[in-house]
Amino acid sequence: MDLSTRKIRLIRELSKLNNESIIEKLENTLHQEKKKILENDLNEMSIEEFNSIIDQAEDDSKNNRLYNAAQIIKDIDKWK
């Protein structure tokens, strides 16, 4: 069974549930698992990758390749 089919089945089962306790437990489990995935993704960056990102940011700053919030808002207003 593919992932899409499993999701649809899960949604159907959830829509039939009337037990708030079960729904709360499922919500908590979902949030915990999403948090673990996010933390794992953050931990996968090596120190070399992290330093490279910092170096790129510093280079962008030195060469005026940054935008400030006010500038972005002005650009967005022009789109209207």
Predicted confidence at residue 24, as pLDDT, reads: 94
Q: Are 17 and 23 in contact (CB under 8 A)?
A: yes
Predicted confidence at residue 9, as pLDDT, reads: 93
How many other β-carbons are positioned within 10 Å of the β-carbon of residue 26?
A: 14
Q: What is the residue extent of each domain of the chain?
A: 3-79
Note the helical H segments in 1-80: 3-16, 20-43, 47-62, 69-79
Predicted confidence at residue 77, as pLDDT, reads: 86
Structure tokens, 17: 């549930």
Residue with tokens 């209207």: 80
Predicted confidence at residue 28, as pLDDT, reads: 95
Structure tokens, 70: 């006010």
Q: 0.75 cut: is pTM over it?
A: no
Low-confidence ranges of the chain (pLDDT < 50): none
